[in-house]
Amino acid sequence: MASPAEAVEPFDEDGAGGPQPAAAGSLAEGLVRVARPRQWLKNVLVFVAPGAAGVLLHRDVLLHSVGAFGIFCLAASGTYFLNDSFDADADRAHPTKRNRPIAAGVVPVAVGMAIGAVLLVVAVVLAQLLAGWHLAVVMGVYGAINVVYSLGLKNEPVLDLAAVSSGFVLRAIAGGVATGVVLSNWFIIVASFGSLLIVTGKRSGEKILLADNGSRQGEAAGTDTSAVRQTLGLYSASFLQAVRTLSAAVTVTAYCLWAFERASQVHPGRDPVWFQLTIIPFVIGLLHVVRILDSGRGAAPEELAIHDHRLQLYGVVWIALFAVGIYGG
């Protein structure tokens, strides 16, 4: 796992993940970079609801889930194009974001705006065709929140955390809406506070990453992070830690209640305990993530899923226990 100084550039709905290459390049290469295909990994959240319901492998459900995944890839890339276009001037003052294709002038701002708008509209239309107006509304809300976020909500403390977290939650909701799976209240709470935990950890990592970057450039360790992201200067380390603690506590509590609820739904009158056993790898995995976030290494959360083998192991154990609970209990 990389240290904050070695970590990739921070990302969220408005940011890129992965190291930024040099600004030089063709327009086509620039368009691909702005689309951020690496960030599409987050869209696998659309598979969670049908997977948890034990219906993901049904042909129609799987096809609708894959369709929802593709639609979210279009929508997410659309928000990246719009955000980079809105933030082109500010990004030029950022130590790494200045290499983004639009900020560097590889992709014209007008082109970025046009592509972003088209991708969001296409995503809503495809959502309507795939699963009706319910999914279209989810995609419309997702696009609207991200546009408002890019236009200024990102500068509002606390609300910016909620806005970024909503992107993850809407992905999970879209999976249920696209496949006709009824979402449990506990499931939504787990998704909501789990997302808030990751986003808050990301903000902590960003503060450390930017401060470290300033130090390596010969500036004071207390670099003014608000010059890059206004809300970073409004969040103290103790506040972000308190939010992480709250989020982790609610996530664990809600997951435990959800696991017992699933056990009673899938096996009424019996108690094979497989769902309850999933609490063990879930909590261990969550504590592992909390430890990493607490160390300031959460600036690029997707890197955890890709490179953290311990987390992957906990995930495999969780999936195995859950699968036994669904199909073999």
Tens of pLDDT along the chain (329 residues)? 333 333 333 334 444 444 444 444 688 898 999 999 988 988 999 999 998 888 888 999 999 999 999 999 999 999 999 999 998 887 787 667 788 898 888 899 999 999 999 999 999 999 999 999 999 999 999 999 999 998 888 889 999 999 999 999 999 999 999 999 989 899 999 999 999 999 998 888 888 777 666 555 544 444 455 555 667 778 888 999 999 999 999 999 999 999 988 888 776 767 678 889 999 999 999 999 999 888 877 767 777 777 888 999 999 999 999 888 887 65
Domains and CATH numbers, the chain: 27-183 (1.10.357.140), 184-329 (no CATH)
pLDDT of residue 80: 94
pLDDT of residue 19: 44
- Predicted TM-score (pTM) of the model is 0.83
Do 267 and 213 form a contact (C-beta atoms < 8 A)?
no
Among the listed residues 83, 102, 88, the one whose alpha carbon sits nearest the alpha carbon of residue 147 = 83
pLDDT of residue 271: 67
Tokens of 30: 């620039």
Q: How far apart are CA 49 and CA 96, in angstroms?
A: 36
Dihedral angle of Cα 199, 106, 115, 80, to the nearest 10 degrees: 0
158 conformational bin, left if phi > 0, alpha if psi -120 to 50, beta if neither: left
pLDDT of residue 265: 79
pLDDT of residue 155: 87
